[in-house]
A and B are shown apart, each in its own frame.
Chain A
């Protein structure tokens, strides 16, 4: 008797486990026709941003008020979510059909929705607006299935920050202008000061290769291309630099500290990052902040500087797509983007706003200097959109392959070949 119940219970338990595992599937599949955007602009929409509160509470609330008064009968409900775990929240909401009507997402987080045609194609819904935005921003949201998955909102693009104290100690070499030069100077810094030159990151690595002319993916994003002579040379130099102490040892193995942390701790001489990070360095490392000098970003001369675009996307499931698109157009207008940029350290994606005197004003400090450099680079087409297939998942897969090559455990050639195989598998799995 006892034994019998036990068998039954085991079977039931297995069945329960299987049922629970299966319940996650088969939801929210496929998409029908494009949502209707011809309706009247009225009613309530929900608007979700990624960690803009509390810094931009005033700006967002004022913009919402203005939209509501210009479009009587509309209500915009604003939610702000922490960027940590944002991807998970979006995927859960997407599966459950509970995505907000207008979503502020960066190109990488939006990628799964864009590839699956779960958001409106702005090249269809707002084709006439294309000229409003700089090209690299408009192209950032091309996921194949959805040509333009979001209206470009704010942008982030880097400058090169140098710790002048360390650079002087190393005999004041000229600031690097490319990643190849960055490696050379880093070696010099390591030899003369014992500190590292810069910290390579998993997210940054695709940018390095892209800037060197490695395409990363083929034209239709079905195959990865990372095993090229340029990549091999760069990776070999990086591995040599690791041996020479030119990059922080733990940055490849443990990565407990971000590149901002090591720079703030005075352990690296160069940091290529967006001007918005200046404030964080100032808050936490006033001494290092005082020693910062600002230069053109790496790859500026070849127009290969990276740019991260945030866009406003409207899901296919939106019940009020007309109002949602209207609000997205309103918020990404040149006037509104300029207003946002004026109170922050991000950049407008609208060409008109980038020409504003606000950006070209004579620099008075590191922040204004950085602002001028980035705005000019964005307006002059100095930036290059990453292929949208190169998202966080791609970057992490690539990084885990090259890590052992940097530390010298695997030959560079083998690591790149392995990376190419794995990445192609990743891209293939997305096609199906």
Chain B
């Protein structure tokens, strides 16, 4: 507020030199915290550019997915609006490969992934943030050190362990190695750290035990971070490609990311059907995100508080 006042002060004194009446109302409105027409225009232009950058490729893909068999899909930018629109490509995406089956597999993997992530990240994060125990710093150190390892590095050892457990070619085998992500643990730890000690002490004074405090006091306070972990867990599970490919051998178990690859091969690569399948695959993550959007933004703010 003070900076705005300071900035406008000199321009008021220089007002007499500019005879046009236009600047005056603008300055007034600015003082009230509103924005002037020029700034408004700039903001709109920037927003339109941002939307075009984000939505443009998606709309282009939608255009391609709706094109009929006789239309070219190549060219830059080519014809963006199909002249002979058809929904047939979406049907073909389901019949050319068992896309429904793949979606179910991915759904199951994602559901398990989110459940494991929520459970393990919340408990681990809580312990690391609020329960003092021997070796806590060491535990965090190990977590941080391994967080930087790309999955490819531990691919073979993970494969051996998972096989050793007899989980090859099972959905559980796909989920377990990434049942909890280190980022999720750290997000939850930060969230629990941000809760004032007084709240916990007050709960103890009122006679709440550790479990009760965790469940009724702590968990509701970090709802936003839980949403963040849920979304992260969902995206991680949904986006997996290399690991399911390595651990699964029965194509009937493939998740959708591996499955849609079969639409684009050396013998056939119909961009319309590929686009249609890609759009279908995109829907579940979008739904999850929109459903949890409000909580996610609070969650990001929670993390920022303690930053």
**Taking beta carbons and an 8 Å cutoff, which residues of A are in contact with B?**
5-6, 8-10, 12-14, 16-17, 20-21, 23-24, 27, 46, 51, 53-55, 77, 79-85, 88-89, 92-93, 95-96, 98, 100, 156, 261, 264-266, 274, 276-277, 279-280, 283-288, 344-345
Contacts and interface: CB of A to CB of B under 8 A. Distances in A.
Nearest to B260: A82
B245 A10 contact: no
Interface string B199-226: 0000000000000000000000000000
Contacts of A14: 145
Contacts of B262: 51, 53-54, 80, 82
Given A9-B140, A20-B157, A285 B73 contact: yes
B153 interface: yes
B154 interface: yes
Closest 5 CB pairs of A and B: A9-B141, A82-B261, A13-B145, A9-B138, A13-B141
B165 interface: no
B156 A92 contact: yes
A279 to B, nearest CB: 6
B100 interface: no
Contacts of A5: 135, 137-138
A285 B159 contact: no
Contacts of A77: 249
B5 interface: no
Interface stretch (B41-49, B175-183, B263-271): B263-271
A20 B149 contact: yes
A264 B74 contact: yes
Nearest to A90: B246
Contacts of B71: 286
B268 A283 contact: yes
A293 B269 CA distance: 21
Most buried by B among A13, A88, A95, A284: A284
Contact of B249 (A10, A20, A46, A82): A46
Contacts of A287: 72
Contacts of B258: 82
A206 to B, nearest CB: 20
B267 A345 contact: yes
Q: What DSSP secondary structure best describes chain B's contact surface?
A: helix
Contacts of B16: none
Contact of B251 (A17, A53, A89, A95): A53
Given A27-B156, A83-B266, A286 B70 contact: yes
Contacts of B139: 9
B138 A83 contact: no
A53 to B, nearest CB: 6
B146 A51 contact: no
19 contacts: A9-B140, A12-B141, A20-B157, A21-B153, A23-B157, A24-B157, A51-B261, A83-B265, A85-B245, A96-B160, A98-B159, A98-B168, A100-B249, A276-B267, A279-B267, A283-B73, A285-B73, A285-B74, A288-B74
B197 interface: no
A423 to B, nearest CB: 25
Given A23-B154, A81-B245, 12 more contacts: A5-B137, A12-B142, A13-B138, A16-B146, A20-B146, A27-B156, A79-B251, A82-B245, A82-B261, A283-B268, A283-B269, A283-B271
Contact of A55 (B70, B163, B265): B265
A219 to B, nearest CB: 32
B39 interface: no
Contacts of A89: 242, 245-246
Interface of B: 70-76, 96-97, 135, 137-142, 144-146, 149, 152-157, 159-160, 163, 168, 241-242, 245-246, 249-251, 258, 261-262, 265-272
A27 B250 CA distance: 25
A378 to B, nearest CB: 18
Contacts of B144: 13
A88 B250 contact: no
B266 A276 contact: yes
B29 to A, nearest CB: 47
A284 B269 contact: yes
A48 B155 CA distance: 20
A24 B249 contact: no
A84 to B, nearest CB: 6
A80 B146 CA distance: 33
A23 B135 CA distance: 24
A88 B74 CA distance: 31
A106 B76 CA distance: 33
A266 B78 CA distance: 11
B155 A92 contact: yes
Contact of B74 (A54, A156, A261): A261
Contacts of B271: 283-284
A81 B152 CA distance: 18
Contacts of A92: 155-156, 159, 246
A279 B71 CA distance: 14
A93 B246 contact: yes
B75 A24 contact: no
A280 B261 CA distance: 15
A279 B268 contact: yes
A341 to B, nearest CB: 12
B249 A96 contact: no
A290 B246 CA distance: 41
Given A9-B141, A14-B145, A264-B74, A24 B269 contact: no
A20 B154 contact: yes
